Amino acid sequence: MGRTVILPPLPPPLRLFERMYTIRAFETRMEGESKAGRLPGTFHSSVGQEAVAVGACASLRETDLVVSTHRGHGHFLAKGGDVFRLMAELYGREEGYSAGKGGTQHMAGPKIGFMGSNGITGGGIPVAAGLALSLKRQNRENVVISFFGDGAANQGAFHEALNMAAIWKLPVIFICENNGWGMSTPVKDVTSGPSIAHRGEAYGILYQRMDGNDLEEVVEQVRAGIQMLHNEHAPVLLEAVTWRARGHSRSDQNLYRDKDEESRWAARDPLALYRKRLLDGNRATEKELAAVERKVDAEIDAAFQRCQTLKPARPETAATKVYASPEVPDAEDPSQRPLKEGEFEEKAYWEALQEAIREAMDKDERYFCFGEDICEYGGCFKVTRGMLEHYGRERLVNTPVSEEGIVGLCVGSAMGGLRPIGEIMFMDFIMLAFDQLLNHAAKFHYIYDGQIKVPMVIRTPMGGYRGYGATHSQCLDALLTHLPGIRVVTPWSPRDAKGLLATCLEEENPVVFVEHKALYIAKGPVPKQSEKIPLGKANIVRPGRDITLCANSYMVTLALQAAEQLAKEGIEAEVVDLRCLNPLDRKTVAESAARTQALVTVEESHLTGGWGAEIAASVQELAFGYLDAPILRVAAADVPIPSAPELERAILPSAEKIVATVKKALEARG
């Protein structure tokens, strides 16, 4: 059943003209600054496309949301962005919307519903769908506009997001600004099908092509689109046919375009067309229009003059706001308390995980689980088994096989106020979502200077030892730690699995929570009383005086087995479970190594670039004087993971390899 939503009244024509003129004047002035070398980085002018931005935003409320592109100044101004703060951002000043951290391609103003411009072509589309999911789940009548270019319509992200928005009927208007070009590539050379708009047909959603240089047509189509969206409860795809009047970016001289094209489109300049239409229709006088132009020119000039007085960004701000909730190194760790009889139950790792999820979901409606085959099937490793009956399909959502979409919608919905718990079926598949995870989730808080948070947890199983072969066995935990902005947690025991997941579910940062296939059915004591284990605290799971074994996840099991064997030979190994890779508890490992004077790292990620190298470097920095043996590493060999058990064993860590490596280290000690 549809509903009629009263749209906000349209701004008067002179106001629309003023907005278009503001964008034109802003872009013109700042492009000059950019070409003169006074702005850092690049510059993408939206001159020629003002009617799309202004026409689309004309029917939005402040609480409606916009997600933009690398060519986003116009969208920002049309959504109500402040000229001075936008300009200041382009100059790299702290007064800018992103305090100089974002620059021209990464600005946000959530207070005015502008949820970020984005330097990744197509990257904002799943984010917009996720924001729409949050609006829908919160029963808000708002809409999201997702702006993107013709080039972005060829990204997988576009297709995954459109499909997901269509199946869940999300309130998002996808607006493709087809400006004829993706850098130097003409649309027709790289785009199949009758039109980009027609791609909507494939997803069964409403679609329409429109003249993107005709402000009134854009206003009308977007207004109709929003109304349709509310009536049909379905997303809409609009293709605005327009033209990029300037070069792609600062350095582009447009040498690949012919003069005919230039003069044809120059005659269709959207600002001049609207100006003429207002005059011809007696809706504004020359005097009124000129007065608007003078007023805007003065405003741009005032902002410009003010920007010249601003000081450069202070270097000490460069490393601030990387994380929305900081690491708490001295937080109390309840898991250090030994459990007494009656205080715990023996539980499997998977059960402990499910308990943490259930406890969060029972307390707070914002949590929902989101992933492939997590409903009836319970997920590939059955962590969500049995939950569907209790929580229903609203709180447990089976998704298409669309990893980029899964993570992207988690990102957007987390930004919109939800608490998504995403599941990636095998960690290997997370690579399909790296863009959303590492370019978006991990960076948004920082690049928008703390204005946006992405509190999501992505759970995923890693690991070999099961013969699944190269695409279903990898440990990518170390790989994820190379980029700041994202927590990486790798629990070993069922107690930690529950206590760490409980903490992660309350984190304000994005988290990748890495489980291990070989641990799901392993049992251990889990306290009846819920506990939250702080992130970034390694755990000494076996004390010893002769050497430190630093491990995580399933490698802790192997390290303990190795320690047992070594003990028979009189070598007492201390086993330290890192538990988290970000934050990384270098201190506990260094202190342990300082006591034992020797260290072997044990990881299942590949040797080269693994976390063992990072720990080795840190320990020699922190405890060099105490060591009297070389730090050695046990890791997966630098080959893809083979399937046959004999081959897999040959390249993955084992207790025997750990024992041999320990002996080698101790022999060198002499």
Residue 619, judged by CB atoms within 10 A of its CB (0-12, 13-18, 19+), counts as buried
Min dist CB 181 to ligand TPP, Å, is 5
Which of the residues 106, 472, 516, 606 is marked catalytic? 472
Count residues near Mg ion (CB under 5 A).
Answer: 5
Q: How far apart, in whole angstroms, are the C-alpha atoms of residue 590 and residue 576? A: 10
Q: Which of 41, 62, 141, 183 binds ligand TPP (CB under 6 A)?
A: 183
Q: How far apart, in whole angstroms, are the C-alpha atoms of residue 492 and residue 494? A: 7
Q: In degrees rounded to 5, what are phi and psi of residue 654?
A: -145, 165
179 is a contact residue toward Mg ion (CB under 5 A): yes
The answer to whether 76 and 125 are in contact (CB under 8 A) is no
74 is a contact residue toward ligand TPP (CB under 6 A): no
Q: How far apart, in whole angstroms, are the C-alpha atoms of residue 469 and residue 329? A: 38
Alpha carbon 143 to chain centroid distance?
21
Looking at the Cβ atoms of 152 and 236, the one nearer to ligand TPP is 152
Beta-carbon count within 10 A of 473 CB: 25
Interface region with ligand TPP, contact rule CB under 6 A, candidates 174-182, 514-522, 595-603, 659-667: 174-182
Looking at the Cβ atoms of 152 and 425, the one nearer to Mg ion is 152
Which residue has its beta carbon closest to ligand TPP? Answer: 149
150 is a contact residue toward ligand TPP (CB under 6 A): yes
The answer to whether 87 and 43 are in contact (CB under 8 A) is no
Give the angle subtended at the CA of 3 by the CAs of 197 and 132, to the nearest 5°.
55
Q: How far apart, in whole angstroms, are the C-alpha atoms of residue 469 and residue 592? A: 35
Largest CA distance in the chain: 98
Q: Which of 103, 124, 151, 653 binds ligand TPP (CB under 6 A)?
A: 151
Min dist CB 77 to Mg ion, Å, is 19
Q: Which of 182, 247, 485, 491 binds Mg ion (CB under 5 A)?
A: 182
244 is a contact residue toward ligand TPP (CB under 6 A): yes
- State both tokens at 263: 């003069």
403 given a catalytic annotation = yes
Which of the residues 27, 31, 355, 403 is marked catalytic? 403
Burial 447-459 (b: 16+ CB within 10 A, else e): bbbbbbbbbbbbb
Coil, strand or helix at 208? strand
Interface region with ligand TPP, contact rule CB under 6 A, candidates 177-185, 539-547, 559-567, 655-663: 177-185
Min dist CB 105 to ligand TPP, Å, is 8
591 given a catalytic annotation = no
Q: In degrees rounded to 5, what are phi and psi of residue 505?
A: -70, -15
Q: Which of 19, 70, 209, 532 binds ligand TPP (CB under 6 A)?
A: 70
Residue 97 binds which one of Mg ion, ligand TPP, none, with CB within 5 to 8 A depending on kind?
A: none
Alpha carbon 245 to chain centroid distance?
32
Contacts of 648 (CB under 8 A, 6+ apart): 464, 465, 467, 473, 641, 642
Which residue has its beta carbon closest to Mg ion? Answer: 149
SS (H, E, C) 224-241: HHHHHHHHHCCCEEEEEE
225 is a contact residue toward ligand TPP (CB under 6 A): no
Min dist CB 176 to Mg ion, Å, is 9
Query: Among 527, 492, 519, 474, which Cα is nearest to 648's?
Result: 474
179 is a contact residue toward ligand TPP (CB under 6 A): yes
Interface region with ligand TPP, contact rule CB under 6 A, candidates 129-137, 178-186, 220-228, 488-496: 178-186
Interface region with Mg ion, contact rule CB under 5 A, candidates 55-63, 150-158, 223-231, 341-349: 150-158
155 is a contact residue toward Mg ion (CB under 5 A): no
Looking at the Cβ atoms of 149 and 536, the one nearer to ligand TPP is 149
Interface region with ligand TPP, contact rule CB under 6 A, candidates 116-124, 228-236, 389-397, 488-496: 116-124
Q: How far apart, in whole angstroms, are the C-alpha atoms of residue 642 and residue 651? A: 8
100 is a contact residue toward Mg ion (CB under 5 A): no
Residues marked as catalytic: 403, 472
Q: Which residues contribute to the site for ligand TPP (CB under 6 A)?
A: 70-71, 119-121, 149-152, 179, 181-183, 244, 248
Q: Which residues contribute to the site for Mg ion (CB under 5 A)?
A: 149-150, 179, 181-182
